[in-house]
Every structure is written in structure tokens, then in C-alpha cells.
Amino acid sequence: MNSRSITKSRKLRYGAMAAGFTAVFIAIVIVFNAIFSSLAAKFGWYADMTGEAVFTMSDVSLSFIDDITSDVYIYFACEPDELMADADMRYVYNSAKQISSAIPNVHVECHDVVKNPEFFMDFYNNKGTKITAKSVVIASGTESVIYNYKAFFTYNEEGKRWAYNGEYRYTAGIMQVTQAETPIAYFTTGHSEDITNAATLASLLTDAGFEVREIDLAMEEMDDDARILVIFNPKYDFHGIEAETESANEIDKIDRFLDGLGGLLVFEDSEYAAGLNNLNEFLEEWGIRYMAGTHVKDAAHSMSIDGYSIVTKYQEEDNFGQNIYDDLENFDSMPKSMIRQAMPIEKLFTGQGTMVGAKAVYTMLGSYEGAELVDRESESVMETGEYDLVTISYENRVIDNDYYYSYVMAAGSPSFAYNNYLVDTSYGNSDVILSALKLIGRDKVLADLDPKPFDDTSSSATTAQSAKFTVCCTLILPAVITVVGVVTVIRRRHS
């Protein structure tokens, strides 16, 4: 066979065509993969197949910010490929891209802080915070907030991250920089309040969408945007009708605040409660009477040797106090809520307040049966029983044919909102307070945005579903190519 016949061989031609087709197909796959990867990175095309949808921004979180009208910018301090390569920042970056895709007003930009530090200078000047490659800046107009990447995660008491909290952090940050009239939460001063131990409670309110301020009611008036008033462990009483001037009557200001549909949080200490006559008389109008000078001790349900750091009992009855934190029942077990050296609260009246202007008071948290009521001075046991430790009262009224409510939440010890009980994620204190804020604040707060645990980030698909998915990905496309090839060969042989 000469060289000319070899070049005209059908087998050689078909072999060359097959090789060429294979080379072209491989090139198409490579190009397609590159284009798709680029588009996926740009538009956030990621499928979240984890059981808890850890990486996905839920409709609930987006509903808080989907009505913003101003432009919001989420700035990252390093390049996208570096973000995607980082195990922590990948979560944070993907969530930002999802928000940007869902809400046109939100824009995501990456600027390398090492190569271009000048870009972030305005944020340094405004906040005085160091910005690193793992920082996130959320800005709108002249307002901005800076987060370290750790703010997007929840850590356990051992310092290990156990949940992703990106929904909460992004939503809180965007609301913070875009709200024109942020609702205000006031902390009273002028009565030797324990402001230091209330720092985490203040942060909780800030993250829930409130602007936190301090106020001396004897000297100042509350802003019209006030929604929450916090009285935290006062050691001296509030001025009442005996005040030298009408403007110094603090009790009257609190009363008018509640008449304006505000919410009051009171944390009294057994050591000082007996001297708070004016405040306690006012609280009695809301069905709340502190049993001053006493503590509740329960060695059987205590986290301390002395029996005073007790695990509180959630209400089992289907009433208003229990309904406040009914979302916690979605967990496999209710988280422990703690309170230390708490004095009981006596409910002065009960029942449903159905008449307009009527008040009702309910138990939120109590002690277990068999707890001891102890005299604070002598440490002697006065009696045993079951005691109310955190209560909530409300008053209803009708405005323009709609019902509105004012609320008073009272705790038998300031320890319920101490920093250690709110920071430690093994306790449910912060969840209970946030649940109450849904009602008390009257403005939308972020209590529904729970951290998403990393306990199970495996695919929620069954083994059969996974096998089916694998077969589809690995066999269908090659099968299609094989069929096309066979049909082509047969047609050419019979042509």
C-alpha cells in the first residue's frame, strides 16, 4: 500500500476525526468550566446542601433589610480568591454575595488593605479601629460599622467556633447604618446602677436594632424614639411626687413613657430592694411585688456549691408568659436559663386583662418545687415552695380601633442579665430576653435569626439520593456522547 492510499484510508480519516472531536470536546469542557466558575464567583451561584442551610441567607433575614432605599456597601479587605481560600472568610463572603444578589441596593467590593490601605482611611478616622485582611466594613452614606471575622461566628465556652452567625451580624450591621430613626433603649443613671455588669445586655440591645443611651430621668427627658427603658440594679430610689420640681419626678416620667406604649425592664437586687419605695410602689400597679431581703436557694437545681446559682424553670402552662419563649421549644432540649441570688416576685393579680386599660401579670421563669426561701441576713430557711423569679406584665389600650400594649419585664436579680450568663452560649438567658424584646420593643428585632451550628455540615441527602446524583453526573453525559458517536459511525458506514 503506497503513501497515497494510506492518507485516503477511511479508518485513518475517522480516527483523525475522532481525535479532533475529542480534543475539541475537552477544550469546550475546560472553557465552559472556566466561564461557569467565573460567573459562579461573581453572582454567588452556590448550592447549600447542608442540613441546616448554614451558608444561606434566609427569607426571614432578608425581610428585615429588603426595604432599604439607600446604597449599602460591604467591603472586604482582601481579594476574592483569598476570601474563598480561607475557611472562615468563605462563609462570610458567600453570605455577602447572596445579600447583594437578592437586594439591588447592597454592593460587595474587595480592596486589598495591604496594597491599597488608603481606601480604608476614612473608616479608620471614623471608627479608630484597625482593619486587617479578615475585617468586614459595612457602610452607607456617612455611617459605617467594622467587624472582625469572629463577629460572624458563635464560639463555645472552650473558644471553639460551633455555629455561623452571619445572618444576624449582616442584618444588624445593615440596619445599623441605614436606619434613619433607630429606636432608642435607655439605661437609667443617677441611682448607682450597675452599668458595668450591664455591658453585654447593652450590646444585645444594640445588635437587636436599638440605639443604646444612658439617661438621668431627674435631669433629662426621653426622646420620642424611645422604645425601651432599662433599670439595672439601682441602689437608690427614684424621685416621685416629693421631687422639688415637676420635671424631676422620675416616676411620673416612667409612667408617661409606658402610657406611650414603651417597654420597661427592671432588674432589682435583694440587698437594695427594700429601699426602693417609690419604684416598688409603681411596680405594684403592674402586679409586681419584690420580696426584698430574701433569696431563693435550690441545691437540687443549682450550678454552684452554695445552691444560689439556680437553673430556672420554664413555664409549662400555655399562657402569655410561656408563649414569649415558645420558639425555644424547637430545640431538642430547652437551654438552661440561670439566675443567682434571686428574690421571688409576688404577683399581686392574675388573669387575662381583657378590658381596655386592664393589666395582667404572668410568670416567665420560676424555681422548681421544693426550693427554699432564705433570709438574706441570717441565711435561715423561711419556707419551701415554688417561686416566681422573672415576670412580665402588660396593659392594653385601643388606638384607632387597634389594640396596643405596654410591657414591664421584672427579674428578681440583676444576675439574670449579667455578662457571664449572656455571653456563655450554653445558657438561654439571652434567648429569653430577645424573645421578650419582640413584644416589648414594638419594632422588629433580630431574635428570630439564630446561629446555624456546624454540628452537621454533611449533605442532608440520603445514600440513595447521593448515589443517584453521582450516577447522573458521571454517566449521563458520557452516555450521550457515546450514543452520538455510535449513530455517527453507523450513518457513515451506510452512507
In this predicted structure, the answer to whether residue 52 has a pLDDT above a threshold of 60 is no
pLDDT tens, position by position, 181-201: 678 999 999 999 999 999 999
* pLDDT score for 50: 46
Number of domains in the chain: 4
In this predicted structure, the answer to whether residue 251 has a pLDDT above a threshold of 80 is yes
Instruction: Give the C-alpha distances (Å, rounded to integers) separating 68 from 93, 164, 212.
Output: 21, 24, 22
pTM comes to 0.64
* pLDDT score for 20: 67
Residues 123 and 253 in one domain: no
Q: Are 165 and 133 in contact (CB under 8 A)?
A: no
Range of the domain at 432: 184-442
Confidence of residue 59 (pLDDT cuts 50, 70, 90): confident
Residue 110: CATH number of its domain: 3.40.30
CA distance 198 to 177: 24
Residues 68 and 28 in one domain: no
In this predicted structure, the answer to whether residue 471 has a pLDDT above a threshold of 70 is no
CA distance 62 to 64: 5
Average pLDDT over residues 57-77: 85
The helix or strand, by DSSP H or E, that contains position 109, with its residue range, turns out to be strand 106-110
In this predicted structure, the answer to whether residue 287 has a pLDDT above a threshold of 70 is yes
- DSSP per residue over 197-221, as a string? GGHHHHHHHHHTTPEEEEE-TTT--
The helix or strand, by DSSP H or E, that contains position 396, with its residue range, turns out to be strand 388-399
Q: Are 342 and 273 in contact (CB under 8 A)?
A: no
Residues 336 and 191 in one domain: yes
* pLDDT score for 335: 81
Question: Is residue 237 a part of any domain in this protein?
Answer: yes
Residue for cell digits 424547637? Answer: 330
Residues 192 and 169 in one domain: no
Number of other CB atoms surrounding residue 234 within 10 Å: 24
| Range with the poorest average pLDDT among 76-85, 416-425, 436-445, 455-464 | 455-464
Nearest to 170 by CA among 228, 117, 91: 91
* pLDDT score for 49: 47
In this predicted structure, the answer to whether residue 494 has a pLDDT above a threshold of 70 is no
Residues 248 and 112 in one domain: no
Residue for cell digits 456597601? Answer: 73
Residue for cell digits 484597625? Answer: 130
Coil, helix or strand at residue 362: strand
* Long-range pairs of 44-51 with CB within 8 A, sequence gap ≥ 24: 44/94, 44/97, 44/98, 44/100, 44/101, 46/94, 49/459, 49/460, 49/461, 50/456, 50/457, 50/458, 50/459, 50/460, 51/456, 51/457, 51/458, 51/459, 51/460
Confidence of residue 470 (pLDDT cuts 50, 70, 90): low
Q: Are 371 and 359 in contact (CB under 8 A)?
A: no
Q: Are 218 and 190 in contact (CB under 8 A)?
A: yes
pLDDT tens, position by position, 136-155: 999 998 788 888 888 888 77
Q: Are 267 and 232 in contact (CB under 8 A)?
A: yes
Residue 316: CATH number of its domain: 3.40.50
Average pLDDT over residues 216-241: 96
Amino acid at 263: G
